[in-house]
Amino acid sequence: MSHERALPTGAIGVEAVGMTMRFGDFTALDNVTVNIRPGTFHALLGENGAGKSTLVKCIMGFYHATSGGVLVDGHEALMTDPKAAHALGLGMVYQHFTLVPSLTAAENLVISRADAPRVINWGKERADLAAFMARMPFHVPLDQPVNRLAAGEKQKLEILKQLYLGRRFLILDEPTSVLTPAEAEDVLGHVRALTRAGEITVLMITHKFREVTRFADDLTVLRRGSHAGGGAVAELSHDDMARMMMGADPDLRSIDRTGGAGAVVLKLDGVRATDRSGLKPIEIDALDVRAGEVLGIAGVSGNGQMELMEILTGQRALEGGAVMVKGNAFTATRAEAKAHKVRYLPEEPLRNACAPKMSVAENLAFRLFDVGAGPKPRFWKSGRQIAENAQAMIAGFKIKTASPQSPIAALSGGNVQRAVLARELSGDVDLLIVSNPCFGLDFAAVSAIRARIIAARNKGAAVLLISEDLDEILELSDRIVVMSEGRIAYETPGATADVAEIGRYMAGHG
Amino acid sequence: MSTSADIGLWGVPLAILGGAIRVSTPFLFVSLGECLTERSGRINLGLEGTLVFGAMAGYAIAFQTGSAWAGVLAAALAGTVFGLFHGWICKFRGVNDIAIGIAMMLLGSGLAFFFGKPYIQPVAPDLPAIPLGWWSDVTQVQAALQINVLFLIGAAFSVALWWVFKSTRVGLTIRVVGDSTDAARAMGLNPDLVRLLATAAGGALAGVGGAYLSLYYPGSWNEGVSSGQGLMAVALVIFARWNPVYCFWAALLFGGAGALGPALQSVGVSQGYYLFYAAPYVLTLGLLIATSSPNRALEGAPGELSITK
Ligand SMILES: Nc1ncnc2c1ncn2[C@@H]1O[C@H](COP(=O)(O)OP(=O)(O)OP(=O)(O)O)[C@@H](O)[C@H]1O
Ligand SMILES: [Mg+2]
């Protein structure tokens, strides 16, 4: 170890016994027992809102379970707060990054140690860190502030941090939802090697069956807060897993495409802007999206997709060129969006499309709270209208929430996504702009949302789909373009798309 | 032997330099205090009130005890109490640090005026200054380089604070809490406690800045002793990008701007010089506009700060 420590090393087993967790009168976890054997890679599956994050937060002492306990290596352990869990060798990589953005990777590592020295001798620490890194299967630059690292590097650093802290039981909450498939493969491969070597035990929450079969030894499934099944992964098929998650055979709708492309709805002409860092230009010379077609924008994250989305939602100023909707200049004001029936699902919807502390019902009413019976906008808000709308949308999109009155920030990640989609897909839509619509969603939700996007297309909406998931692009798009270094690098019809060719352009050499 | 040489227009830059050093000290202390507080993710607009109260408390205690340093200590203590109060209230849910800061600003000034009435007339001892201009015969040079001990302490402190942020556990802890409450919690830190202590320490520094006002320059206690330095320091910290060493240079710049009016007057400019008295305020506005951008987040801003979030 890079620093003196008398702790024993090697993987430990953890058992959660009879865990129950209530938020008010909502039961998020109901008497769940899970045993994770030492040195195994254990997967935790479940629909959005099934209580996966809640369970692991109880194990880590982040939440205080209403009842139930944790056994560490067979001994009862009192998890009063995360510190107690850390002292026993338990560590967690949270669903949202918990690295400190403005600190460098090295600073993040050193300060996270419980025995961080009062005065830090950077010369010595750097030497120790280099020695530690030399023993690790993957690396990240240590002297960059974390906010300059790519998502994959951040995730690696989160895992490195846990190993650096000498953790022997590691919980990963959807570690790959922010990673590209190749990055995910890389990171999980290394993690699995560490469990094989008997250094750590891993409990991973995921929605991706493929990852479960490929990397996990055992699995546990939660359904609506209860233990719904589990066992050795080798003996279970993807269908078995799906059945355990849903409680019945899942209805995976797939809607056929009908109709073809019509008139141009969205037109970008010579658009110029600067990216987030303020250094690289975004240059989109020409881009059209027609009614009744899905245009997919593929690309590795950080090549200007986020900025393109910001341009289209009015969050980023144009330096040149024009965005036209149905032949009119479009600056994404509320009035324009309403007149042209433009709807959005931006990425990180909790931040970009919600008022986090307002209630679910209020958030669902953002498109209609001022719509009156007549042509004039409504002055007094109608509580009944908001409540009825919320009820209909919560039922229609199966949004899991304790009540329509709870703040939207208390919803699980996937349910925030559903809530925003419910709001944006209500009523007539002529132009739908979506960015990574299925991030962090369970498989049933993924198929439901994709079906809704196709349904909107079939009804004649023009759909612009920005996604880092190439499979999603290939499945949904009528036409595909690749974005690289802030430009459109390649275009191909969806039906005849060549994955290898797209991959080459995504990697920056076409 | 010293001669009062006629150095003509050279007197202006010299007077500005001397003025900068003299005027900058309160800016320096308040901005270091604000920098420390903001790095922990809170903003304390109450430092203007702390400054005024520190000026009063410092003057009163110096007068009572006959020791200027006892006055400085009293001002620091008073500032700590104000900081603790701010930090304590802000820990409650739904409390806004900016609103509390404004309330504390009014409270601090009000209390200072109330308790300070009896001390407007008496004369308290001054803080000592070091004549760093001994090598020169020119009185103007000697006057400009008459440097107060607190200025030197403040300069040393800005470097020390920079080092603390970079190389100590306390400093990194403050930065963690200021940048991400979630990360701090996940690390097992108590963000409220860290912010409470950082706000208290920031208050102490602002108190010392106040003591400088009443015990050295201008060197007496009255109700107009501060001309908004406590508030301008907030802008100064933003301009200095939350870096204590930059705070030092920015304080000198603001001090120099503040000395512009008096310097011009001293060389006999008799018209329009009063416009230059507004220089610090114009500078504040100008710098904030010039260094901001609609498209980029402020480089170096602590992530949890309510004004930049
Ligand atoms: N702090 C909280 N207050 C109230 N309700 C909560 C809180 N945290 C979670 N919940 C509720 O508990 C349920 C389970 O949430 P949890 O975050 O554990 O889901 P999850 O299985 O991790 O889902 P996802 O796959 O979407 O991340 C959800 O319905 C959520 O709304
Ligand atoms: Mg979750």
pLDDT of residue A1: 38
pLDDT class of B309 with cuts at 50, 70, 90: low
Q: Which ligand is nearest to the CA of A415?
A: 1
- Average pLDDT for A490-495: 91
- Average pLDDT for A183-207: 90
Instruction: Name the residue ranges covered by the structural domains of chain B.
Output: 4-308
Compute the count of residue pairs across chains A and B with CB atoms less than 8 Å apart: 68
Residue A110 at interface with chain B, using a CB cutoff of 8 Å: yes
In degrees, rounded to 5, the angle at the alpha carbon of residue A412 between the alpha carbons of residues A411 and A418 is: 80
Nearest to A415 by CA among A480, A364, A468, A374: A364
Report the gap between the CA of B283 and the closest CA in chain A (Å). Answer: 26
Nearest to A177 by CA among A409, A423, A425, A347: A347
pLDDT of residue A2: 40
pLDDT class of A495 with cuts at 50, 70, 90: confident
CATH architecture, domain B4-308:
Orthogonal Bundle (1.10)
Compute and round to an integer the Cα radius of gyration of chain A: 24
Q: Is the pLDDT of residue A87 over 80?
A: yes
How much distance in Å is there from the Cα of B296 to the middle of ligand 2?
Answer: 31
Tell me whether residues A100 and B182 touch, CB distance under 8 A: no
| Axis-axis angle for helices B11-39, B47-65 (nearest 10) | 110
Q: Is the pLDDT of residue B179 over 80?
A: yes
pLDDT of residue A250: 60
pLDDT of residue B109: 95
Burial class (CB in 10 A: 0-12, 13-18, 19+), A460: middle
For residue A274, give the nearest of B183, B187, B295 by CB distance. Answer: B295
Q: Which atom of ligand 1 is nearest to the CA of A95?
A: 27
Partners of A283 in the beta sheet? A272
* Residue from A90, A97, A102, A315 whose CB has the most chain B CBs within 10 Å, to mutate: A102
pLDDT class of A186 with cuts at 50, 70, 90: confident
- Average pLDDT for A297-319: 87
pLDDT of residue A254: 65
How much distance in Å is there from the Cα of A93 to the middle of ligand 2?
Answer: 12
Report the gap between the CA of A317 and the closest CA in chain B (Å). Answer: 7
Tell me whether residues A107 and B296 touch, CB distance under 8 A: no
Tell me whether residues B172 and A111 touch, CB distance under 8 A: yes
- Average pLDDT for A432-442: 86
- Average pLDDT for B63-67: 93
Q: State chain B's mean pLDDT as an integer.
A: 89
pLDDT of residue A277: 67
pLDDT of residue A252: 60
pLDDT class of A98 with cuts at 50, 70, 90: confident
Scanning every residue of chain B, which has its alpha carbon at the shortest distance from the alpha carbon of A161? B187
Question: Would you say B217 and B55 are in contact if contact means Cβ atoms under 8 Å apart?
Answer: no
pLDDT of residue A9: 73
Tell me whether residues A119 and B179 touch, CB distance under 8 A: no
pLDDT of residue A249: 65
- Whole-model pTM: value is 0.78
- Average pLDDT for A12-24: 94
Which residues on chain B are in Cβ contact (under 8 Å) with A83?
Answer: 188
pLDDT of residue B271: 79
How much distance in Å is there from the Cα of A49 to the middle of ligand 1?
Answer: 5
Q: Is the pLDDT of residue A379 over 60?
A: yes
pLDDT of residue B75: 97
| Domains recognised in chain A with CATH numbers | 14-246 (3.40.50.300), 265-506 (3.40.50.300)
Tell me the per-residue pLDDT of A444-457, one tens digit each, with 9 for 90 and over: 888 888 888 998 99
Helices (H) and strands (E) in chain A, counts: 17, 20
Please name the residue whose Cα sits nearest to atom 16 of ligand 1. A51
pLDDT of residue B275: 82
DSSP-assigned states of every residue in B3-34: B----GGGHHHHHHHHHHHHHHHHHHHHHHHH
Tell me whether residues B167 and A122 touch, CB distance under 8 A: yes
Scanning every residue of chain B, which has its alpha carbon at the shortest distance from the alpha carbon of A94? B186
pLDDT class of B54 with cuts at 50, 70, 90: very high
Residues with Cβ within 8 Å of B135's Cβ and at least 6 positions away in sequence, in order, are none
Which residues on chain A are in Cβ contact (under 8 Å) with B163?
Answer: none
pLDDT class of A5 with cuts at 50, 70, 90: very low
pLDDT of residue A436: 87
Report the gap between the CA of B176 and the closest CA in chain A (Å). Answer: 6
**Residue B98: how many other CB atoms lie within 10 Å:** 15
* Residue from A100, A157, A167, A310 whose CB has the most chain B CBs within 10 Å, to mutate: A100
Distances (CA, A) of A457 to A254, A367, A445, A491, B125: 13, 20, 18, 20, 82
For residue A120, give the nearest of B169, B187, B300 by CB distance. Answer: B169
- Average pLDDT for B175-191: 89
Report the gap between the CA of A452 and the closest CA in chain B (Å). Answer: 34
* Residue bearing tokens 């204590």: B244
pLDDT class of B2 with cuts at 50, 70, 90: very low
pLDDT of residue B141: 81
| The dihedral sign for the CA sequence B215, B219, B223, B224 | negative
- Average pLDDT for A167-193: 84
pLDDT of residue A449: 85
Tell me the per-residue pLDDT of B191-240, one tens digit each, with 9 for 90 and over: 999 999 999 999 999 999 999 999 998 889 998 899 888 998 888 998 89
Residue A355 at interface with chain B, using a CB cutoff of 8 Å: no
Which residues on chain B are in Cβ contact (under 8 Å) with A274?
Answer: 295
Q: State chain A's mean pLDDT as an integer.
A: 88
DSSP assignment, residue A270?
A: E
Tell me whether residues A118 and B296 touch, CB distance under 8 A: no
- Average pLDDT for A470-483: 91
Which residues on chain A are in Cβ contact (under 8 Å) with B188?
Answer: 81-83, 86, 114
Tell me the per-residue pLDDT of B133-177, one tens digit each, with 9 for 90 and over: 888 888 878 888 889 999 999 999 999 999 999 999 999 999 999
- Average pLDDT for A151-170: 88
Scanning every residue of chain B, which has its alpha carbon at the shortest distance from the alpha carbon of A84? B188
Tell me whether residues B179 and A81 touch, CB distance under 8 A: no
Tell me the per-residue pLDDT of A235-280, one tens digit each, with 9 for 90 and over: 999 888 988 888 776 666 567 888 888 899 999 999 999 887 667 8
Tell me whether residues A278 and B296 touch, CB distance under 8 A: yes
Protein residues with C-beta less than 5 angstroms from the ion ligand 2 = A 53
How is residue A376 written in tokens? Answer: 């004039």
Q: Which residue has the higher pLDDT, A20 or A351?
A: A20
Residues with Cβ within 8 Å of A259's Cβ and at least 6 positions away in sequence, in order, are A292, A458, A460
Tell me the per-residue pLDDT of B268-301, one tens digit each, with 9 for 90 and over: 777 777 788 888 888 888 888 887 776 666 677 8
Question: Would you say B229 and B257 are in contact if contact means Cβ atoms under 8 Å apart?
Answer: no
Lowest mean pLDDT segment, chosen from A96-100, A344-348, A407-411: A96-100
Residues with Cβ within 8 Å of B75's Cβ and at least 6 positions away in sequence, in order, are B54, B55, B57, B58, B61, B207, B208, B210, B211
Tell me whether residues A111 and B186 touch, CB distance under 8 A: no
pLDDT of residue A306: 85
Ligand 1 first shell, C-beta below 6 A = A 23, 26, 28, 46, 48-54, 400-402, 410-415
Amino acid identity for residue A421 in this structure: L
Q: Using an 8 Å CB-CB cutoff, list residues of chain B that contact chain A.
A: 167-170, 172-173, 175-176, 179-180, 182-183, 185-188, 293-296, 300, 302-303
For residue A102, give the nearest of B173, B182, B303 by CB distance. Answer: B303
How is residue B77 written in tokens? Answer: 């203590």
Question: Would you say A153 and A301 are in contact if contact means Cβ atoms under 8 Å apart?
Answer: no
Residue A314 at interface with chain B, using a CB cutoff of 8 Å: no
Q: Is the pLDDT of residue A4 over 50?
A: no
Q: Is the pLDDT of residue B3 over 60?
A: no
pLDDT of residue A137: 75
Half-sphere exposure of A248 (CA within 13 A, CB side): 2
pLDDT of residue A368: 87
Q: Is the pLDDT of residue B122 over 60?
A: yes
Q: Is the pLDDT of residue A177 over 90?
A: no
Tell me whether residues A103 and B296 touch, CB distance under 8 A: no
For residue A148, the Cα-to-chain-centroid distance in whole angstroms is 19
Question: Would you say A217 and A196 are in contact if contact means Cβ atoms under 8 Å apart?
Answer: no
Half-sphere exposure of B102 (CA within 13 A, CB side): 4
